[in-house]
Amino acid sequence: MSTGTMRALLVLALALLFVGAILQVSWPDTEAIDNTTNEDVGNALFGADDASGYGLVMFFIGLLLLVALLGGVFLAKEEKE
């Protein structure tokens, strides 16, 4: 068998394994799912008023990640001599 045929058979086997795993899961009924709204999630993350929640913490984490990303780009940049 050629390399292309082996790859195609491997992809097919993995796809069948994936589909089989999806079909074996016992998915919950739609009535059993919690009826959490977007507003509930927003209130949990950012708080119902200005003094509660994690909004400020999330802002600082995002700012830290942005600075880390820019620092990584700066360090990865090659210097011309």
pLDDT confidence tier of residue 26, bands split at 50, 70 and 90: confident
Are 58 and 66 within 8 A, CB to CB?
Answer: no
DSSP string, 27-55: PPPTTTS----HHHHHHHHH-SSTTSSSH
More confidently predicted of 34 and 38 = 38
* Distance separating alpha carbons of residues 53 and 59, to the nearest angstrom: 12
pLDDT > 90 fraction of the chain, expressed in percent and rounded: 46
DSSP conformation class of 79: P
Residue 49 has pLDDT above 80, yes or no: no
Predicted TM-score (pTM) of the model is 0.42
